[in-house]
Structure 1
Amino acid sequence: MAAINTITPKNILSLAIPAIIAGIAEPLISLTDVAVIGNMDKNAVEGLLAVGLVGSFLSAIIWTLAQTKTSISSIVSNALGSHQIDKINSLIPQVIWINIALGLVIYAITAPLSSWIFTLYNAKGTALEFSISYYQVRAIGFPLTLSAFAIFGIFRGIQNTSWAMIASLSGAVVNVILDYLLVYGIPSYIPAYGVMGAAYASLVAQVVMLVIALFFLYKKTPFKPHLLTWNPHPKLKQHIALTTNFFLRTAAINVAIFLSYRYASGYGEEYGATHAILMNIWLFFSFFIDGFASAGNAIGGKLLGSKNARGLLYLGKTTAIYGIIVAVMLVIICGIFYQFIGHQFTESNLVFELFTSTFWVVLLMQPINAVAFVFDGIFKGWGEASYLRNLLFVLTAFVFIPTLLILDYFEFKLYAIWTAFGLWMLGRAAILAYKFHLRIKTMEI
């Protein structure tokens, strides 16, 4: 029984709560952009659609490349559990510089192609113009965001999510303040930049997050990122292999999100704008619940390194329960303020009607999402990148896409999209929970 007691609710919550706050900062930036732009006096629907489309594409890129955070967290937490943390010091700067280089390359490729990219999303006219200009500013932050995420992964690996929380929360606060100042402006002092004001606000917020993350890395960790050696670290190959599989896993997720925006925009600008609101709320909830997945990721990797099967079983059950409780609380709160939430994002009557008729589907998914995210986080901490990759490939190809196509044929529109997401998440939750318990039994034997 001693093995079980090595992990307590306090251990889990001390990682999960800061991770929740850190995790919601990024979607909070996007939600703020959506809320502020959705209430502009001119071109609000077009601006809302543009921010939704760009946010979707940015998330696709950032989530894919930010998997370096997951892989470095897995390596660091395993090294911590096996008491070999001193052997990965030179790996840290190599990972950070790889992320910077990736960010620069992606910006150089995508910025000139932004018109073509957002045409693929069915953006037209003013919405397309907004999408292009908004993206070209937001994309400058790729190297900043990816560097910060790599550092956050290092923090998580050494069992600390508070520093990432401080950095992310600071960036979110800066973004909220600048959003209102730059989008609406202040007469005689600051011009109203509209959609571009939101882009500038987000870019400054990314700078703030990175500066604070670097401060904690230099001052609070044993790693010295300025000591860059050009000889590849022995674990760099493992990091790249994990990252590649996490890339592919996330690519499958982004296929689903891309198709959802493409179909929603195809139904009309109001449908696309409504889907942008629903998707940003869904992502906000996802990152909120994902705090427990971060705890599972950090602790799970450490427990695997020390071969503690009983501790892992306790971790899985406890984090899943906590995640479900938080999800249910979010559902209840949103149920109480159902219409109020819709009014905060739009003044368009049609968008509001579409939102209120569909939002309940998003809410019903949240307890299922909690289970899926928690076990996904634990599997990431174990370094099970190839299994997660294959699972997402199968579910996207054989659950999400067929459901979307069939229900779209019967003109379910937004219901088609969100039913497909619901079944997709149910598959993730059920299979990962089953695989987790099967793995624990094998370890105990």
Structure 2
Amino acid sequence: MSLAIPAIFAGIAEPLISLTDLAIIGQIPENSATALAAVGTVGSFLSAIIWTIAQTKTSISSIVSRALGAGELTKASVLIPQAIWLNISLGLLIYVITYFLAPTIFHFYTNEKPVLDIAVSYYKIRAFGFPFTLCAFAIFGIFRGIQNTSWAMIASLTGAAVNIILTYILVLGSPFSESYGIEGAAIASVIAQATLLLVALFFLYKKTSYRITLPDFNNLYLLKKHVQLTANFFLRTLAINVAIYLSYRYANNYGIEQAATHAILMNIWLFFSFLIDGFANAGNALGGKLLGSKDPDSLLYLSKKTNGYGIAIALILAILCGVAYPFLGHLFTDNSEVLKLLSITFWLVLVMQPINAVAFVYDGIFKGWGEASYLRNLLWILTGFVFIPVLLILDYFNLELFAIWLAFFTWMLGRSVLLHLKFKQKIKELL
């Protein structure tokens, strides 16, 4: 719990930034549905990139935590500057490439010119934060590997607080500044990401012995392992992003109101996912450590506890949102058509939460074990043979948003069941 609770607060910072942008942008007097659809579309692509590059954090955590469990932590120190500089370089590369390709990228999501123009303008500013985010992710991976998630929590919540305050001021204006509209939300997000990194650097230098020095390229053993793990985690996450991309593509084809509704549903779903994912992060840190020390009994205990807590949190979230069901939509928009669509589809997101919890917990434990290739194969199989067929069949029957979210439901159910069975098999092998 000392790992999971801070990890929960750290994990919700990024989706909280996206939810804040949606809630405040939805209050813009003119064309709020178009603005929501545009920001939601960018949010989908940003989630794809961030989820993919966040796997560098998971890989570092896995290597460091297993070294900690085996009593060989000093051997991992050479990896730290190598991984951090690799992430910074990767962030700059992604920014430069996607900045110039932004019109082409978002054309794949939507053909609505007003939505496309706003999306490109918003993205070109917000993407400037990629190098900050990737550097912070590498540092967070170190913290988690040495069994500390509190420092990442403080950094993430500080960044989220800065984002909320600045987004409100820059989007809607204040007595001391003019309104910058959607561009203001992007500027606020970049400043928040820079703030988050500064806080992370403070803890790295104040609380650990690690420093961002020039990397040692004479010892590349752990860096090669890190890159191999990260590549498989990348491919795993790419399968998730294919599902999310298709969901936005279909939602945009259904109309602007449907696209805006899907953007709200997806961002709430991601917020819930990152919140519950705190227990997965604890499983990631402890799972690697316990495998390193070869302790199957404690791994079994870890699984039961983290699943129990994850399901409990999921049920609490579902109940609270069920009580607030008639009012939640108004936090994001006053568009009557969007509110109507939300009222008839949001229950699907709530029903999925306990199933999601089980999938996320096992996913975190398997990441800690370094089981990147298994997770990669599982996600591609489920995306190709469950999510896509269900989406296509239900879309054929004109179920629109229901087609999308029932596809996600069956996809998550498959993840939770198959990961549970694989975990039981792994424990038997260790006993």
1:51 partner letter:
V
1:222 is paired with a residue whose SS is coil
Match of 1:315 in 2: 302
Query: Does the 8 Å CA contact 1:89/1:224 hold for their aligned counterparts?
Result: no
TM-fit CA distance, 1:441: 1.1
Match of 1:98 in 2: 86
Match of 2:407 in 1: 420
**TM-score, normalised to structure 2's length?**
0.99
Aligned mates of 1:123, 1:274 — CA distance in 2: 17
Match of 2:123 in 1: 135
1:404 is the counterpart of 2:391: yes
TM-fit CA distance, 1:123: 4.3
1:276 is the counterpart of 2:263: yes
TM-fit CA distance, 1:160: 0.2
**Larger displacement relative to structure 2 (189-198 or 218-227):** 218-227
TM-fit CA distance, 1:438: 1.1
> Any idea what the Cα deviations from partners look like across 1:84-109, whole Å, max 9, x if unmatched?
11111121011011111111111111
2:12 is paired with a residue whose SS is helix
Match of 1:376 in 2: 363
Query: Does the 8 Å CA contact 1:273/1:351 hold for their aligned counterparts?
Result: yes
> Any idea what the Cα deviations from partners look like across 1:204-252, whole Å, max 9, x if unmatched?
0000000010111111113222253232432111100000000000000
Match of 1:220 in 2: 207
1:161 partner letter:
T
2:24 partner letter:
V
> Any idea what the Cα deviations from partners look like across 1:381-414, whole Å, max 9, x if unmatched?
0000000000000000000000000000000000
Query: Does the 8 Å CA contact 2:85/2:215 hold for their aligned counterparts?
Result: no
1:126 is the counterpart of 2:108: no
Match of 1:334 in 2: 321
Aligned mates of 1:43, 1:216 — CA distance in 2: 43
> Any idea what the Cα deviations from partners look like across 1:258-295, whole Å, max 9, x if unmatched?
00000000000000000000000000000000000000
> Any idea what the Cα deviations from partners look like across 1:35-59, whole Å, max 9, x if unmatched?
0001111121111111100010011
1:376 partner letter:
D
**Larger displacement relative to structure 2 (283-292 or 38-47):** 38-47
1:42 partner letter:
E
1:340 partner letter:
F
Aligned mates of 2:163, 2:64 — CA distance in 1: 31
1:94–1:162 CA distance, 2 compared to 1 (3 A)? same
Aligned mates of 2:26, 2:244 — CA distance in 1: 21
Aligned mates of 1:126, 1:231 — CA distance in 2: 52
2:282 is paired with a residue whose SS is helix
Aligned mates of 1:66, 1:318 — CA distance in 2: 25
Aligned mates of 2:21, 2:285 — CA distance in 1: 31
1:243 is the counterpart of 2:230: yes
Match of 1:178 in 2: 166
TM-fit CA distance, 1:437: 1.0
Match of 1:193 in 2: 180
Gaps of at least 5 residues in structure 2 are: none
1:32 is the counterpart of 2:45: no
Match of 2:338 in 1: 351
1:301 is paired with a residue whose SS is helix
Aligned mates of 2:180, 2:116 — CA distance in 1: 17
Aligned mates of 1:102, 1:356 — CA distance in 2: 41
Aligned mates of 1:342, 1:375 — CA distance in 2: 32
Query: Does the 8 Å CA contact 1:242/1:385 hold for their aligned counterparts?
Result: yes
1:156 is the counterpart of 2:156: no
Aligned mates of 2:218, 2:334 — CA distance in 1: 57
1:126 is paired with a residue whose SS is helix
TM-fit CA distance, 1:125: 2.1
Match of 1:298 in 2: 285
TM-fit CA distance, 1:150: 1.1
Q: 1:254 aligns with which of 224, 241, 251?
A: 241
1:162 partner letter:
S
**TM-score, normalised to structure 1's length?**
0.96
Aligned mates of 2:305, 2:37 — CA distance in 1: 39
Aligned mates of 1:316, 1:380 — CA distance in 2: 13
Aligned mates of 1:123, 1:186 — CA distance in 2: 34
1:209 is the counterpart of 2:206: no
> Any idea what the Cα deviations from partners look like across 1:310-334, whole Å, max 9, x if unmatched?
0000000110000000000000000
Aligned mates of 1:101, 1:55 — CA distance in 2: 23
Where do residues 45-56 of structure 1 align in structure 2 (5 Å cutoff)? 45-56=33-44
Aligned mates of 2:65, 2:121 — CA distance in 1: 40
> Any idea what the Cα deviations from partners look like across 1:360-399, whole Å, max 9, x if unmatched?
0000000000000000000000000000000000000000
Aligned mates of 1:28, 1:370 — CA distance in 2: 19
1:117 is the counterpart of 2:105: yes
- Would you say how many aligned residue pairs link Structure 1 and Structure 2? 431
2:2 is paired with a residue whose SS is helix
**Larger displacement relative to structure 2 (412-421 or 105-114):** 105-114
Q: 1:266 aligns with which of 245, 248, 253?
A: 253
2:213 is paired with a residue whose SS is coil
2:3 is paired with a residue whose SS is helix
Match of 1:81 in 2: 69
1:365 is the counterpart of 2:352: yes
1:66 partner letter:
A
